[in-house]
Structure 1
């Protein structure tokens, strides 16, 4: 006989705390953790293996579409990157900075934006930092400024539908979809980008006073910097490049307009991209397999999360957990729960890994918000305010260590210097989100 009421909620919280402990303390990798803990919780709650299996199946059904979108988006943008779609933009940005050193900080932001279109933090760091570092060193500009600008730009750009946080949020909350999470936040993301340009202009003014624009980059080999940034590829804007550009615009337009599902947009886009850029059968197979590690890691996490969400929701464990939280949370906070989530989402990035937050903490908060009359999807949107912006300072994110390693700065120094600017950007996003109604008060 399965337990109900308060005991079921206590088992649910015990499962969440165990997940947080195992992930944060690195005792068990996230994929097995998200599978085995809810299964054990279900058994302790008195559900049969058959019932737990049906719970998991229901949860997996709910995350298939977002998992497919993520997988095909990664494949698509990887092909675009390796076939040189972004290379002319990278070369033009670097060349503009060399000829006009005053554009150093603004150019850094633009380059980070372009290189983060695939939603991968590691790609952004690997392209932007090596390309910009010699220029910063030549002007004797502190490397922590470079790291900060790349971090806040990558963080804000990570709000794209195929970004890790958006994907997790949509997978974790049942009513959430790309259309009702990302689309309402577009104006807020634009506001965040504008605030980043303002910050880069602030740094630029500081640098410009002591700048000798004539001799600033004497001895700098522009071609070698560009070659490193584009992985030694030959930069061409032939018919194939123009086709890839138009195809990418079409895929993104289909995604934002909602004329078809996001997963189908990227699936069709991938097919066309393969036919045009990799026409040979064997090469197509090799290309897809070369990107498989990046794809399968997240696919595994999302499917494992489906098991967790399925067990929590179908067993009504999440409902009882929310009932407990309603008793504990003051009404003043509960009535403004989306705003509270938005405010704490940035500091939470320093305390939780994204998997722990989105699959452990957010479902309880979203379910609790329903009791106060809020749309749970609003809580997902609110979480993006700090969870996306703050990912490049999180000690739980591999891209953070790649960033500080390439820039050769300490983690503590990076967090201390960058966090105030992240607060500015996330606050701008929050205010804009409230203004357009994406985050309700």
Structure 2
């Protein structure tokens, strides 16, 4: 029975990946229907309501937060709260896409110091999306750069993956993380190389298209807005709006209010401050409502997937099968195998299933054969929901990222994995050179 659960589980995941990347199904449809078919195949038709309830309840809080976070930042963008900042940054970057890409990388690193991918996405996309749009830069590059920077920063001691790995090893968190610090810093430095290449490619593309990006410094964004969007600008309320943004984010980060409550209250205050007329509020909903529906529907679809895989036992069976497939002769290479495939494994396993299900079995088996279990944990951290976080629909922040950047999930996955996977191999090499993976 476990083997059948495992086979169906892998088929479900593979079917979702293929259907989304090939655009045969939308993200929400693929995440919602394919797992239900899997549940039927393993004979759990009668348990589907329970699976749905369990899975959806795990993402319900994030769903509320996403609705009002998108509406809040959408309202602020529409009102023009970010326009002075955008113009200032563009002037500092001299209208150069290369400088904008590097600035995005630095901002993503700094923004992820709190370890929250959701906060980082809201911060970076809120600040940079208007800049990318005004400079006619591709938003897929913004999402990719954010994925690399935040992925590396997600290995911080207060990040979820590192905390889970240290728990598995029953190690002191600080002592567990310290040996990784220099390899991570070196990888962050290496990560600047693809960022620069993306910036240079944007310069080449814009020149080929005849777009004078250097002239953006003196251009006004209003010229590119529709009549309705211009009517919704509130240039006299820029300062109050920026104060409101800082206040809402501070309340969320400090824990005084939950993220959902912070953005719900912030959206209400933003509408009261900028758009007291019901007709104006309806315009805001028309402008940003489609994005809300796209992100939240995909999020609840991910809840269906997690509920079916977890509650049916497929996730556990998949983990056990994966471990059993490793021949004894290759056991000594397990750390390198784990590290090499850590990024794509993020598409298959959520954090708890991997770090609390697969990783303990791998470390115990390795220790029994005289191999460092800690080395396997370090190897897992090069990609498993670190550099791999932004390509998996199992991470709610991924759906928020693609939503705020107006990206199709499949296209984002195909583009971003070409950068984050090689970068994870670079980190794996550094960890090996520093003697952490043996």
Q: TM-score, normalised by structure 2?
A: 0.60
Instruction: Spell out, residue by residue over 1:370-400, the C-alpha distance to the aligned partner (whole angstroms, 9 max, x if none).
Output: 534699xx86984232554999xxxxx8999
Mapped to 1, the partners of 2:225 and 2:337 lie a distance apart of 44
Following superposition, the deviation at residue 288 of structure 1 comes to 2.4
SS of the aligned residue for 2:290 comes to: helix
Partner of 1:303 in structure 2? 300
Mapped to 1, the partners of 2:18 and 2:197 lie a distance apart of 41
Mapped to 2, the partners of 1:275 and 1:424 lie a distance apart of 45
Matching of residue 274 in structure 1 with residue 267 in structure 2: no
Mapped to 1, the partners of 2:189 and 2:225 lie a distance apart of 26
Instruction: Spell out, residue by residue over 1:204-258, the C-alpha distance to the aligned partner (whole angstroms, 9 max, x if none).
Output: 99xxxxxxxxxxx9x94753355457888699764x3222212222222233333
Matching of residue 285 in structure 1 with residue 282 in structure 2: yes
Q: 1:290 to 1:17 in 2, by over 3 A?
A: same
SS of the aligned residue for 1:383 comes to: coil
Mapped to 1, the partners of 2:57 and 2:420 lie a distance apart of 40
SS of the aligned residue for 1:264 comes to: helix
Asked whether the equivalents of residues 113 and 154 of structure 1 are also in contact (C-alpha less than 8 Å), the reply is: no
Following superposition, the deviation at residue 261 of structure 1 comes to 2.2
Matching of residue 327 in structure 1 with residue 317 in structure 2: no
Partner of 2:386 in structure 1? 384
Partner of 1:34 in structure 2? 31
**In the alignment, which of 58, 64, 77 is matched to residue 81 of structure 1?**
77
Asked whether the equivalents of residues 388 and 420 of structure 2 are also in contact (C-alpha less than 8 Å), the reply is: no
**In the alignment, which of 62, 66, 70 is matched to residue 70 of structure 1?**
66
- What do you get for the CA RMSD once the two structures are aligned? 5.4
Q: 1:85 to 1:113 in 2, by over 3 A?
A: farther
Q: 1:83 to 1:334 in 2, by over 3 A?
A: farther
Following superposition, the deviation at residue 74 of structure 1 comes to 0.9
Asked whether the equivalents of residues 63 and 303 of structure 1 are also in contact (C-alpha less than 8 Å), the reply is: yes
Partner of 2:249 in structure 1? 252
Asked whether the equivalents of residues 109 and 149 of structure 1 are also in contact (C-alpha less than 8 Å), the reply is: no
Mapped to 2, the partners of 1:67 and 1:270 lie a distance apart of 15
Asked whether the equivalents of residues 55 and 304 of structure 2 are also in contact (C-alpha less than 8 Å), the reply is: yes
Instruction: Spell out, residue by residue over 1:251-271, the C-alpha distance to the aligned partner (whole angstroms, 9 max, x if none).
Output: 222333333322222222222
Q: 1:10 to 1:114 in 2, by over 3 A?
A: closer
Partner of 2:218 in structure 1? 223
Q: TM-score, normalised by structure 1?
A: 0.60
Mapped to 2, the partners of 1:11 and 1:43 lie a distance apart of 10
Matches within 5 A, 1:186-205: none
Mapped to 2, the partners of 1:60 and 1:271 lie a distance apart of 26
Following superposition, the deviation at residue 299 of structure 1 comes to 1.2
- Number of residue equivalences: 353
Higher mean C-alpha deviation, range 363-372 or range 298-307: 363-372
Asked whether the equivalents of residues 39 and 311 of structure 1 are also in contact (C-alpha less than 8 Å), the reply is: yes
Mapped to 2, the partners of 1:340 and 1:23 lie a distance apart of 24
SS of the aligned residue for 1:384 comes to: coil
SS of the aligned residue for 1:306 comes to: helix
Mapped to 2, the partners of 1:119 and 1:24 lie a distance apart of 27
Higher mean C-alpha deviation, range 106-115 or range 7-16: 106-115
Partner of 2:55 in structure 1? 59
Q: 1:155 to 1:64 in 2, by over 3 A?
A: same
**In the alignment, which of 358, 365, 368 is matched to residue 358 of structure 2?**
368
Mapped to 2, the partners of 1:280 and 1:385 lie a distance apart of 44
Partner of 1:138 in structure 2? none
Partner of 1:106 in structure 2? 99
Gaps of 5+ in 2: 109-119, 154-160, 162-176, 201-211, 364-375, 394-401
Q: 1:308 to 1:276 in 2, by over 3 A?
A: same
SS of the aligned residue for 2:43 comes to: coil
Mapped to 2, the partners of 1:160 and 1:83 lie a distance apart of 34
Matches within 5 A, 1:330-349: 331-332=331-332, 339-340=339-340, 344=343
Mapped to 2, the partners of 1:312 and 1:26 lie a distance apart of 23
Gaps of 5+ in 1: 134-145, 162-168, 170-183, 206-216, 349-356, 392-396, 404-410
Partner of 1:92 in structure 2? 88
Following superposition, the deviation at residue 5 of structure 1 comes to 2.4
Asked whether the equivalents of residues 36 and 308 of structure 2 are also in contact (C-alpha less than 8 Å), the reply is: yes
SS of the aligned residue for 2:257 comes to: coil
Matching of residue 128 in structure 1 with residue 123 in structure 2: no
